[in-house]
């Protein structure tokens, strides 16, 4: 009976030990044990368990108690065979020794199992925990050996995925931290007050905030990236950086244009006229001046709101002041950190790589990943389908619907006019109770529904300022018989080309640049240029100049004609051979001709007239145009 009880206790302990070991393997898969952990297979002292102790031998008194009172003389025992005596000796030595070892082993296993259960129940192993990957010695009996550990796939299936350590956040530059403070104070205050007004004002404020958030991303990239080469392969990258800011800017303006009948149109115009402030990141010279100019533009409609709502709605007064304060705080910020424009990072990476790294870093935060399926298990079910969209709007025409009246052109107009007095038969007499001039209370409710009133055409989009216009790479090439020179700006050295009789030259968007056309060319055209200096030898046809400011032309040989259209401030120098050149001007002012007069070859400046007096001469039967000359 004692042996059976001990075997039962041993089986129970082995089951407990197996469960604790499985739990300990789960902990070991997520947490590595410390280096100084104790070894589990060492003997752990435990208090003696009376239940596991060997039963004491029966007392002598008990044996006597079972003896009958009148004990008969026992017969003389027969001598045992030698084999039986040897078996008795085996029982008294080996079996007793084995049972003693088994009892000791059970005590050690019970102590180790209790310790393992304590470790498994805790979230973190203690400092003196046993080394998890060492084996516990099994008893000498193979039948009592512990079962094999579970397969690796099973343990992985029950082990939760270890959480990846979060990357250490990189410290932000001081300029970005200050811009975050600007967003959290000035911009958030404006957005909060806009939400109090609600409606279109709140919707527009959300677009303004998104524009500043995109601007913050642009500034962060500029602190890590080199300045893109706008005249090289980096132009598409720069366009992709500016595009989100430009989209927010256009969305604010389009919201205002689409809601002209709204009673909040003045408030929408205030924000729309000032939203060009987002373009300060594209200006290289004193961008804070641009912020001040945008504040002045916003004040045109903003001051009107202050005047109209002075004694009516204090919330709108506070809203306008918060919008103004946002400009003032931004101007101070730009003046402190970017007085000469965005400096970029001379030692940084290419802008394309920085943009990719930021996009990859923000992807996990924006789109959480689904948990991985357990090993050996079925994959998770697919996500539910999206909700169905709204039913399609069908334009069903019924038979009883009145057909639109066909326009009869001028015939229908004349037929209405020929009715005479009958034209008023279709009119209804208006009762006095329906007359608004006699009932002022009707004026407030006499609004025309938007369904009956025809929509006015949407105004055209405002042209982009030069600061927001994407600069294209410089170009100088000959395609067939046409030279193209464009997008040069602030060139230190003159740009020279060698032209022939069949070549025409197109010069476009060249600023602060000198261009020399050598040889005898056919024609030269200049457009959309500022402070351009052009030197030509000889031309067969004309020099056409369109939309140019501070333009200068010097003719070394001869040209027949110069045509100026929308030119402001031009200086034209003719050689002796080209004094007879004809100059045609339209919508131009400040044009001076410089001709060589006299034997000393000095230039004489002759201004072209810009003021003309026109009148009709009845005697001539024609219009007479005279140049106005100012004496004195």
The DSSP output letter for 349 is B
Centre a 10 Å sphere on the Cβ of residue 162 and count the other Cβ atoms it contains. Answer: 9
The pLDDT of residue 81 is 79
- CA-wise closest residue to 551 among 531, 525, 565, 576: 531
Q: Is the pTM of this model over 0.85?
A: no
Helix (H, G, I), strand (E, B) or coil at 267: helix
CATH 2.160.20.70 holds for 475-627 = yes
Residue 452: C-alpha distances to residues 160, 455, 458 (Å): 66, 9, 18
For residues 532 and 505, is the Cβ–Cβ distance under 8 A? no
Helix (H, G, I), strand (E, B) or coil at 53: coil
Partners of residue 496 on adjacent β-strands? 516
Fold of 174-357: 1.25.40
Which tokens hold the place of 531? 């402070």
Residue with tokens 């408030």: 267
The pLDDT of residue 467 is 54
The pLDDT of residue 179 is 93
The pLDDT of residue 186 is 94
The pLDDT of residue 430 is 79
- CA-wise closest residue to 259 among 425, 423, 450: 450
H-type alpha helices, 338-454: 351-366, 410-417
String of b and e for 278-300 (b: at least 16 CB within 10 Å)? bbbbbbeebbbebbbebbebbbe
Which tokens hold the place of 2? 């004692």
The pLDDT of residue 513 is 94
- Can you list the positions of beta strands (E) in 363-510? 475-479, 482-486, 495-498, 504-508
Which residues, including other chains, have CB under 8 Å from residue 630's CB and lie 6 or more apart?
Answer: none
Which residues, including other chains, have CB under 8 Å from residue 302's CB and lie 6 or more apart?
Answer: 270, 274, 320, 323, 324
Which tokens hold the place of 258? 């689409």
Rounded distance, CA 600 to CA 596, Å?
A: 9
The pLDDT of residue 352 is 80
The DSSP output letter for 206 is H
HSE-up of residue 350 (Cα within 13 Å, Cβ side): 11
Rounded distance, CA 597 to CA 559, Å?
A: 18
The DSSP output letter for 352 is H
The full set of domain ranges for the chain reads: 2-56+90-157, 174-357, 475-627
- Longest pairwise C-alpha distance within the chain: 183
For residues 278 and 327, is the Cβ–Cβ distance under 8 A? no
Report CA dihedral (68, 72, 78, 82) to the nearest 10 degrees.
30
The residues of the chain scoring below 70 in pLDDT are 1-7, 20-22, 24-77, 90-101, 120-169, 360-423, 425-426, 443-470, 630-632
Element (H, E) at 552: strand 542-555
Report long-range pairs for 482-488 (Cβ below 8 Å, ≥24 apart).
482/506, 484/508, 485/510, 485/515, 486/510, 487/231, 488/513, 488/515
Q: Helix crossing, 199-224 with 174-182: angle to 10°?
A: 180
Q: Quick one: the chain helix, strand, coil %, rounded to 5?
A: 40, 20, 40
């Amino acid at each position: 009976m004692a042996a059976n009880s001990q075997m039962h206790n041993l089986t129970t302990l082995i089951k407990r030990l197996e469960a604790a070991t499985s739990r300990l393997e789960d902990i070991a898969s997520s947490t590595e044990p410390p280096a100084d952990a104790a070894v589990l297979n060492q003997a752990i002292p435990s208090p003696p368990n009376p239940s596991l102790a060997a039963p004491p031998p029966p007392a002598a008194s008990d044996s006597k108690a079972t003896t009958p009172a009148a004990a008969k003389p026992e017969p003389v025992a027969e001598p045992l065979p030698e084999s039986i005596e040897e078996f008795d000796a085996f029982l008294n030595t080996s079996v007793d020794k084995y049972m003693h070892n088994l009892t000791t082993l059970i005590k050690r296993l019970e102590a180790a199992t209790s310790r393992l259960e304590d470790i498994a129940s805790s979230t973190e192993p203690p400092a003196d925990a046993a080394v998890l990957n060492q084996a516990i010695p099994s008893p000498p009996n193979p039948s009592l050996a512990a079962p094999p550990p579970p397969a690796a796939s099973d343990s992985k299936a029950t082990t939760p995925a270890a959480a990846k350590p979060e990357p250490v956040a990189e410290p932000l530059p001081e300029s970005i931290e200050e811009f975050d403070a600007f967003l959290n104070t000035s911009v958030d205050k404006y957005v909060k007050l806009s939400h109090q007004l609600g409606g279109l004002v709140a919707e527009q404020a959300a677009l303004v905030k998104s524009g500043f958030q995109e601007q913050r991303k642009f500034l962060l990239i500029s602190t890590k990236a080199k300045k893109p080469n706008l005249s090289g392969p980096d132009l598409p990258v720069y366009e992709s950086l500016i595009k989100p800011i430009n989209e927010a800017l256009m969305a604010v303006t389009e919201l205002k244009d689409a809601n002209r009948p709204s009673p909040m149109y003045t408030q929408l115009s205030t924000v729309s006229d000032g939203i060009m402030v987002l373009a300060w990141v594209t200006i290289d010279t004193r961008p804070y001046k641009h912020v001040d100019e945008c504040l002045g533009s916003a004040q045109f409609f903003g001051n009107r709101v202050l005047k109209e709502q002075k004694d009516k709605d204090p919330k709108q007064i506070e809203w306008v002041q918060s919008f103004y304060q946002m400009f003032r705080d931004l101007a101070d910020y730009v003046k402190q950190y970017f007085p000469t424009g965005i400096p970029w990072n001379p030692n940084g990476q290419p802008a394309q790589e920085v943009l990719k790294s930021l996009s990859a870093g923000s992807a996990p935060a924006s789109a959480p990943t689904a948990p991985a399926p357990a090993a050996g298990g079925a994959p998770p079910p697919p996500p539910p389908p999206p909700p169905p969209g709204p039913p399609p709007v069908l334009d069903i025409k019924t038979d009883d619907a009145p057909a639109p009246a066909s326009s009869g052109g001028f015939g229908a107009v004349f037929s209405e006019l020929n009715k005479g007095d009958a034209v008023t038969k279709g009119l209804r007499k208006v009762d006095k109770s329906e007359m608004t001039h006699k009932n002022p209370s009707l004026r407030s409710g006499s609004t025309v529904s938007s369904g009956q009133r025809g929509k006015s055409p949407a105004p055209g989009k405002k042209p982009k300022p030069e600061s927001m216009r994407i600069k294209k790479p410089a170009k100088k090439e000959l395609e067939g018989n046409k030279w193209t020179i464009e997008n040069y700006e602030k060139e230190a050295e003159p740009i020279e080309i060698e032209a022939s009789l069949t070549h025409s030259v197109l010069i476009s968007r060249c600023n602060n640049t000198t261009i020399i056309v050598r040889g005898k060319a056919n024609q030269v055209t200049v457009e959309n240029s500022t402070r351009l200096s052009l030197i030509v030898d000889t031309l067969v046809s004309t020099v056409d100049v369109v939309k140019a400011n501070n333009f200068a032309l010097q003719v070394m040989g001869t040209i027949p004609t110069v045509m100026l259209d929308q030119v402001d401030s031009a200086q034209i120098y003719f050689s002796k051979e080209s004094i007879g050149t004809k100059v045609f001007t339209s919508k131009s002012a400040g044009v001076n001709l410089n001709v060589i007069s006299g034997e000393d070859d000095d230039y004489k400046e002759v201004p072209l007239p810009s003021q003309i007096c026109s009148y009709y001469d009845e005697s001539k039967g024609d219009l007479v145009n005279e140049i106005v000359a100012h004496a004195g």
